[in-house]
Each structure stands twice: as structure tokens, then as C-alpha cells.
Chains A and B, each alone.
Chain A
Amino acid sequence: MAERLSNREGIKGMANPTRYGIERVAYWLQRLTGLGLLAYLIGHIYETSTIVNGKIAWNQMLELTQTPQGHILLTLVIGMCVFHTANGIRVMLGHGGIGVGKPGQPEYPYKAASLNYKQRLCIWVSIALAALAMMYGASVLFGD
């Protein structure tokens, strides 16, 4: 009821990357990969904690990652990690006011200086690096 009265878009609006260009897609990917990495971290802690139950339990747990599903998961983790790091550096620099352009007299059609080609290039480079890392990771994991 309160949501309807306030007309807030809520999570659905926040998670919709389609309407505001590549910068909003990068924002969405950054959040998504952040959540994915958090889930991986929790899973990783659970996985490595099995070592306290002895060598057999540890080996059984390791076998889970030696399956095709395990390899796909690890490939995704590699991609998430690379994108989150590369794009995160762009965002951190931007947060300090670095690379967001200089204030000036706006002229029609009012292209925002903060959404400049350097920012867009960094986003595409982050995506490309993630794709390359995933390809390399997949070739190593599925290689033999």
C-alpha cells in the first residue's frame, strides 16, 4: 500500500538495466556480480571448512568442483571477479571525481560530460576482460 502511494519503483526498478544506457547496465552488473561473489565467498568458506572433518570429507567436497557443473560455476566466478574488479576501479576513481569531466557551459543537446567516452570505454574493457578471463578459465578447467 505504502509502495503504491509513494509510487517507488522498488527493487524491480533498481534492477531494470534497460532504459538508461550502458552506465546503468554496468551499475546492474556491478551489483549482480557483487551478490554472486558474496554467495561464492559463503560457499567457499563452507567448502574449505570441511577440512576440519578430515581428509576424506575434504576430498569429497573437492570432487564437487571437478564436475562440469562445478567448472561452469568456477568459470562464472572468474568472470564475475574480473568484471567486479575492473569496473569497481572505474567507479572508485569516478567517486573521487576522477574521469568524470569538468563543469562547463552546457550546450544543446546537453550530452552529460560525466557519461563520457572514457567511462564507456572502461565499461566495455571490463566486460571484454571478464569474457577473456572466462574463456581462459574454461579452457584450463575443461582442457583435459
Chain B
Amino acid sequence: MAVVETKPSEEPKSNAKTTDQTNTITLRISRSNPSEGQESTFAEFQVPVQKWTTVLEAILYVKQNLDHSVAVRYSCRQASCGSCGMKINGRPALACYTKVSELNSNVITVEPMNNFPIIRDLAVDFKQLISNHKKMKPFIIREDSEVTPESKEFIQTPQDLEKFLQFSYCIKCGLCNSACPTMATDESFIGPQGLAQAYRYVADNRDKGKDERLKIVDDSHGIWRCHFAGSCSQVCPKGVDPAMAIQLLRGYMLGFRK
């Protein structure tokens, strides 16, 4: 199997669609190893695909049959773990959740997500995302949260639940941070993931840590750097809608919400 290395700018074009039958696509995988000073190049592989083949399966085909050294992180293969986020044909997406057939191209280019340091090839470092997530205190804050023999459950109505449930579906895949135009230029920005999680707990009526969290996001690199471009919500694979969460959270800061 021929493996052709090309520079990032040399992108072959094709509009041929995949069909129900087995088809062969060209999978272009970005290869780089910044810690060893290796610049980014593209390795091309011919991969057989069917209508239901996902991009992750195509990458795993390469690993199993053509080049086992391709670095990719994945786990659940069902859009639940948030491990396989990458740039697919220029847009951040989960590789396990993107079918080759829906890309309408016989040439698929996969690159590491932007705005995250590259570990190697398609694997990126989530240190900043996790640290910003932790900064938002992603847990219920209240004095009587310890379970004692006298404890009763926190009763919530379905309406109470609906106020935050959507935002609790975040799988921390990092796609929103990768698409965000502010993250592209501000390395200290909390990011849509962290801000949406702050709102998730602020909107939870069991939680008493609203003031604490609002203080954390009230920063020049915090909520005020979001300009509502909406790209985070465009790419979210779980329907979390971080753009909505951030604007609603800002409603608290501006006094529109109590």
C-alpha cells in the first residue's frame, strides 16, 4: 500500500459521493510530533468504506492494516466518552459520530483539534480544558449536602430539572473550545465548555454556589470574552448548546436574571 506524504497546502479535491457499496476513499491523516520538532505533514491512505463506516473506523483500518504508528485517542465509539474529537474536513467533530458517507467527499482530511496542544498526530492535550472545568466547581455546593441518617432527597420538579439537564450532557470532547474564535487567540480564556458548566450548576436549584461561580467567571478572560459567535453550539455533538448557557449565565451577571 502506497503511503504518500504531502504538505498541508497540497489538498487534492474530489466531490465523488460514497455509495451503498464498498467504496475506496483517500484518508489524509495529519502526522506531527511537536515534542520532537516534527512539522505537520499529511500521510495519505486508500481505505475501503461502506455507507455506515465512520471516520474513526477508517482511521482504525489504517492502524490495523497500513500504519500502526498513527496516534489517535478513542474509547467508547458511540459519542459518549468524548475522546475522538478531531478536525474532519476542516470542522471539529467526533470521529466515531461522523460517517464517511455524510461528508460527501472521497477525500477525507483529519487533523488534530485546534486550540489544544498536539501530543502526537491526532491526539491533543486536554490539560487546560480539564483544569478550566475544575475551576468552575462542577459539583453541588451546599452546607447540608453530606448524607446523614436524617437526610432527605433534594426534590426537584421536571421544570427545575429542565433548566440545567441539557448542559449536564457535556462529554468534555473539546469540540466547542476548538471551534471558538476567542479560544483561537486568547490562551487564558475559560472557553465555552467551562462557562457552560458554570451555568449548569448556577441553574440547578439544589446548588447554593452561584455567587462563588459568578465571581470566577467575572474576569477579563472569562465570560466577557464571549462574543456570541455561536460556533461552539454549531459543533456540539450532544446538543449542549454552550452559546445559550453562556448568554443565560451573562444574564445573571447583567441583572436580567436572579
Q: Is the CB of A114 within 8 A of B243?
A: yes
Distance A4 CA – B30 CA, assembled complex (angstroms) = 14
Q: Is the CB of A96 within 8 A of B124?
A: no
Q: Is the CB of B234 within 8 A of A21?
A: yes
The reply on B15 being an interface residue by CB < 8 A is no
Option from B115, B229, B240 in Cβ contact (under 8 Å) with A20: B229
Residues from chain A with a CB closer than 8 A to the CB of B238 are 106, 110
Q: Is the CB of B234 within 8 A of A23?
A: yes
Option from B116, B124, B167, B229 in Cβ contact (under 8 Å) with A24: B229
> Most chain-B Cβ atoms within 10 A of its Cβ — which of A6, A13, A97, A108?
A97
Option from A7, A14, A20 in Cβ contact (under 8 Å) with B230: A20
Q: Is the CB of B234 within 8 A of A103?
A: no
Residues from chain B with a CB closer than 8 A to the CB of A114 are 230, 233, 241, 243-244, 247
Distance A9 CA – B187 CA, assembled complex (angstroms) = 11
* Contacting residues of chain A (86-135) with chain B, CB-CB under 8 angstroms: 91, 94-98, 100-101, 103-108, 110-115, 119
Residues from chain A with a CB closer than 8 A to the CB of B115 are 6-9
Minimal beta-carbon separation of B132 from chain A (angstroms): 15
* Contacting residues of chain B (111-125) with chain A, CB-CB under 8 angstroms: 112-118, 124
* Contacting residues of chain B (203-252) with chain A, CB-CB under 8 angstroms: 203, 227-231, 233-241, 243-245, 247-248, 250-251
Residues from chain B with a CB closer than 8 A to the CB of A94 are 228, 247
Minimal beta-carbon separation of B81 from chain A (angstroms): 17
Option from A14, A27, A105 in Cβ contact (under 8 Å) with B228: A27
* Contacting residues of chain A (1-59) with chain B, CB-CB under 8 angstroms: 4-11, 13-14, 19-21, 23-24, 26-27, 30-31
Residues from chain B with a CB closer than 8 A to the CB of A13 are 114, 181, 184-185
Q: Is the CB of B250 within 8 A of A97?
A: yes
Q: Is the CB of A5 within 8 A of B185?
A: no
Q: Is the CB of B179 within 8 A of A100?
A: no
The reply on B34 being an interface residue by CB < 8 A is yes
Residues from chain B with a CB closer than 8 A to the CB of A115 are 230, 233-234, 243
Q: Is the CB of B251 within 8 A of A96?
A: yes
The reply on B164 being an interface residue by CB < 8 A is yes
Given contacts A7-B117, A24-B181, contact A96 B234 (CB under 8 A): no
Interface residues of B (CB under 8 A from A): 34, 90-91, 112-118, 124, 162-167, 169, 179, 181-185, 187, 203, 227-231, 233-241, 243-245, 247-248, 250-251, 254, 256-257
26 sampled A-B residue pairs with Cβ under 8 A: A5-B117, A5-B118, A7-B112, A7-B114, A7-B116, A7-B117, A7-B124, A8-B183, A8-B187, A9-B185, A14-B182, A14-B185, A19-B90, A20-B91, A21-B234, A26-B229, A96-B247, A96-B254, A101-B241, A103-B163, A103-B164, A103-B248, A106-B239, A107-B239, A110-B238, A115-B233
Given A14-B185, A101-B244, A114-B233, 19 further pairs, Cβ under 8 A: A6-B187, A7-B112, A7-B113, A7-B118, A10-B184, A10-B185, A14-B182, A20-B91, A20-B231, A21-B231, A23-B234, A24-B230, A24-B231, A26-B229, A30-B227, A103-B163, A106-B238, A106-B239, A112-B230
